[in-house]
Amino acid sequence: MPFMILIPMILSAVALCVWPPGWVFRNLTLPVLLLLPVYYSWKLPLLPPLDFGVAALLPLGVVMCLRSLSLWRFSILDLWLGLFVLSTGMADRLLGQNTPSVFELFDNVNSVLIPYMAGKLLIEQEGARAATLKRIVLLMAGAAVPSLYEWKFLQNPFQMVFGRFFPHEILPWYTHLRGGHGRICGPYAQAEFAGMMLVFGLVLTLHLAQAYNWGGRFRSAAWFPARKSTLVFLVLLLALFCTGSRGPAIGFLVAAPIALIGRSRNPLRNAVLVALLLTVGGAITYEGLVHYAGTRTPTTEEQETAAYRLTLVQDYLPMAEHGGFWGRGLSFPRIGKYGSVDNEYLWVALTQGYIGFASLVLLVAGTLYNLGWAAVYNSQPSDRAFAFTLLGIFIGLLVTVSTVYLGIQPLMFFSLLIGWAQALREHRASQPQLIFAQVYT
12-24 pLDDT, tens digit per residue, is 999 999 999 999 9
180 and 204 fall within a common domain: yes
Nearest CA-CA partner of 13 in 72, 61, 49, 47: 61
253 and 171 fall within a common domain: no
> Which pLDDT score is estimated for 112?
97
Least reliable range by pLDDT among 127-141, 251-265, 291-305: 291-305
Among candidate residues 215, 244, 273, the one where a domain is terminated: 244
258 and 137 fall within a common domain: no
Q: Is the pLDDT of residue 324 over 50?
A: yes
170 and 215 fall within a common domain: yes
Pairing of strands 41-42, 50-51: antiparallel
Nearest CA-CA partner of 263 in 207, 201, 202: 207
338 and 222 fall within a common domain: no
Residue 441 in any domain: the answer is: no
Residue 262 in any domain: the answer is: yes
Task: Count the domains in the chain.
Answer: 3
**Per-residue pLDDT reduced to its tens digit, 29-51:** 999 999 999 999 998 888 899 99
Query: Cβ neighbours of residue 190 under 8 Å, at least 6 residues apart?
Result: 173
274 and 305 fall within a common domain: yes
> Which pLDDT score is estimated for 292?
64
pLDDT band at 215 (very low <50, low <70, confident <90, very high): low
35 and 103 fall within a common domain: no
pLDDT band at 294 (very low <50, low <70, confident <90, very high): low
Residue 439 in any domain: the answer is: no
Among candidate residues 25, 44, 66, the one where a domain is terminated: 66
Residues 299-313, mean pLDDT to the nearest whole number: 71
Cα–Cα distance between 135 and 212 in angstroms, integer?
14
> Which pLDDT score is estimated for 293?
61
Residues 291-302, mean pLDDT to the nearest whole number: 62
**Per-residue pLDDT reduced to its tens digit, 227-241:** 888 899 999 999 999
Residue 440 in any domain: the answer is: no
pLDDT band at 295 (very low <50, low <70, confident <90, very high): low
7 and 144 fall within a common domain: no
pLDDT band at 297 (very low <50, low <70, confident <90, very high): low
> Which pLDDT score is estimated for 251?
94
> Which pLDDT score is estimated for 437?
45
Residue 436 in any domain: the answer is: no
pLDDT band at 434 (very low <50, low <70, confident <90, very high): very low
Residue 438 in any domain: the answer is: no
> Which pLDDT score is estimated for 168?
82
**Per-residue pLDDT reduced to its tens digit, 148-166:** 999 999 999 999 999 999 8
Nearest CA-CA partner of 233 in 261, 210, 262: 210
Residue 74 in any domain: the answer is: no
* Phi/psi at 181 (5° precision): -125, 155
Q: Which residues pair with 265 in a beta bridge?
A: none
SS (HEC) of 326-351: CCCCCCCCCCCCCCCCCCHHHHHHHH
> Which pLDDT score is estimated for 433?
46
Among candidate residues 203, 226, 244, the one where a domain is terminated: 244
255 and 374 fall within a common domain: yes
Residue 285 in any domain: the answer is: yes
Q: Which residues pair with 234 in a beta bridge?
A: none
108 and 219 fall within a common domain: no
195 and 227 fall within a common domain: yes
Query: Cβ neighbours of residue 76 under 8 Å, at least 6 residues apart?
Result: 366
Q: What is the mean pLDDT of the chain?
A: 88
Q: 347, 87 in Cβ contact below 8 A? A: no
Q: Is the pLDDT of residue 323 over 60?
A: yes
Least reliable range by pLDDT among 37-41, 45-49, 83-87, 171-175: 171-175
340 and 284 fall within a common domain: yes
- pTM of the predicted model as reported, rounded to 2 decimal places: 0.91
Residues of the domain holding 267? 79-121+246-430
